[in-house]
Amino acid sequence: MLDCKKALEETGGDMEKAVDFLRKKGLAAAAKKAGRAATEGLVAAVIAADGKSGALVEVNSETDFVAKNDKFQAFVADVANQVLVAAPADIDALFGQDSVKEPGKTVQITLNEAIAVIGENLQIRRFARFASEGLTGSYIHAGGKIGVLVELAGSGDLAPLAKDIAMHIAAAAPQAVRREDIAADILEREKEIYRAKARETGKPENIIEKIIEGQVNKFYAEVCLLEQSFVKDPDKTIQQILKAAGADVTVTRFARFVLGEGLEKKESDFAAEVAAAAGN
């Protein structure tokens, strides 16, 4: 209310100019907050009504407290829907798009306004969007700490299976769908580790190569989705679960986001920050 009063005073009581004043103030507030670490937040997903497309997004806030805020959660849902509907090519394209929810504003402006309202630095960090003739499913774990988007190809009612596979991916964290998708440098690094360990045993080279082959197969079973043991039925692999659903059913791709993954979390003294703010 104090901000509104000040805006009216600054603009001579002109309501429209006062609104512009507040919006500009919001943008300025966003700029001030931009340098503050945002490593909390939410991972969210949305699936189209026909199940053929879906979006997964990660939006960061500074604190877990704000991540539980209804306004922040609504903003994250809006971002996910923006990605689903407007299909941006990348983050930069997303920021420049006209908002689906608020036409006439870019997504960047809606982000800045959300920062002004919520009072923390917010960042739209990343997104994945799938669209195909198959079926897309999702799973969100722990209230937005981990999110998965998965795309299945095949015939039949695949929605329940897609949910199960997405849940499995959240728990088992595969690196790729199949062994052919593992990057050559990653595989070679694993082989070098196995080779070094095997040579310490003093076994002949031909035996060492067989040991390496066995270790590589074990590695594939750990990191390739189709070869992993299904978390809900460890006696079966994901490939066997898919085959039971139909001869033509398979996973084409997936995305798995862990909230704050790869971000450096900054430890802060909240009491000191409050005291510093009070002194300004």
The CATH number of the domain holding residue 79 is 3.30.479.20
The reply to whether 186 falls in a domain is: no
At residue 46, what are phi and psi to the nearest 5 degrees?
Answer: -145, 140
- Full residue range of the structural domain in which residue 121 is found: 36-131
Domain count, the chain: 1
The reply to whether 118 falls in a domain is: yes
227 and 239 Cβ atoms separated by less than 8 Å: yes
Q: What is the dihedral of CA 98, 100, 159, 67, to 10 degrees?
A: 90
Please give the pLDDT value at position 195: 85
Nearest to 35 by CA among 123, 116, 145: 123
The reply to whether 261 falls in a domain is: no
The reply to whether 100 falls in a domain is: yes
Averages of pLDDT over runs of 10 residues in the chain (280 residues) are: 69 73 57 68 97 98 94 98 98 98 97 94 97 95 97 95 98 97 94 86 86 94 98 98 96 97 68 51
Nearest to 256 by CA among 179, 178, 176, 170: 170
The reply to whether 229 falls in a domain is: no
Task: Report the C-alpha gap between 170 and 180 in whole angstroms.
Answer: 21
The reply to whether 26 falls in a domain is: no
The reply to whether 82 falls in a domain is: yes
What SS3 state is found at 248?
coil
This prediction's pTM: 0.81
The reply to whether 64 falls in a domain is: yes
Please give the pLDDT value at position 197: 84
